[in-house]
């Protein structure tokens, strides 16, 4: 099954490269829907456990990478945490799955929204402030991004740090293949006093913005 999955992903990626060679302005997106695989990518499951274990409720949450499973939005809703989860996906299939779920269960849409967009095309004007931000997959798509938005991962990180409420938390996943690109950016943000390291939680690392004066 995993071999079939890898073949499917490679074929789709090859098709997209061909189409972008014909149409260079074509958006870079993920053609597949990412399944829940906690054995190889546990970050969303661990984040759900973090929210539940710490009793984090009625907070505004930005989550980068909904996954086709939509675990963060679904588990927060099922647990009755009343968090406002705003997720981002660059997969049309994942967004279509969300739409189908909300049509079937409109109550889910009260606390869980998913937007299809390239994170590198976002601006400060289109984002509210958040109490909790996850950027588990920052750095995974940056080499091929030509969206005309923020030029690199540094600017994306600084954008979201500017949207973090005083005392708010921002979480990362060191198991991501993009994390080596992000690690120095976090060190720079710490040195500038924008965030401070708080703790490790299972596979995640957590930073916090300075609290109110």
For the record, the structure tokens of 59 come out as 């907070």
For the record, the structure tokens of 104 come out as 């079937």
Burial of 1 (0-12, 13-18, 19+ CB in 10 A): exposed
- pLDDT digits over 83-136, tens only? 999 999 999 999 999 999 999 999 999 999 999 998 998 999 999 999 999 999
pLDDT at 34 over 90: no
pTM of the model as a whole = 0.86
CATH superfamily of the domain spanning 39-208: Vaccinia Virus protein VP39 (3.40.50.150)
Domain boundaries, the chain: 39-208
- pLDDT digits over 37-63, tens only? 888 899 999 999 999 999 999 999 999
Tell me, rounded to whole angstroms, the distance of Cα 63 from its chain centroid: 4
pLDDT at 35 over 90: no
For the record, the structure tokens of 127 come out as 């984002």
Predicted confidence band at 213 (pLDDT cuts at 50, 70, 90)?
low
């Amino acid at each position: 099954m995993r071999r079939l999955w890898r073949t499917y992903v490679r074929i789709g990626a090859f098709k997209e490269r061909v189409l972008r060679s014909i149409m260079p302005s074509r958006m870079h997106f993920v053609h597949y829907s990412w399944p829940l695989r906690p054995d190889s990518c546990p970050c969303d499951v661990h984040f759900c456990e973090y929210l539940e274990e710490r009793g984090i409720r009625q907070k505004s949450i930005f989550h980068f990478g909904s996954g086709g499973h939509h675990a963060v939005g679904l588990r927060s809703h099922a647990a009755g945490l009343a968090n406002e989860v705003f997720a981002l996906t660059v997969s049309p299939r994942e967004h279509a799955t969300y739409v189908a779920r909300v049509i079937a269960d409109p109550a889910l849409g009260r606390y869980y929204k998913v937007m299809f967009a390239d994170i590198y095309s976002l601006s400060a004007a289109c984002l509210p402030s958040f109490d909790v931000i996850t950027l588990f997959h920052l750095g995974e798509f940056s080499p091929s991004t030509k969206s005309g938005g923020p030029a690199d991962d540094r600017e994306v990180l600084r954008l979201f740090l500017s949207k973090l409420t005083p005392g708010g938390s921002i979480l990362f996943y060191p198991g991501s293949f993009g994390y080596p690109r992000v690690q120095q950016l976090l060190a720079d943000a710490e040195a500038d006093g924008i965030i401070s390291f708080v703790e490790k939680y299972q596979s995640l690392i957590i930073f916090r913005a300075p609290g109110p004066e």
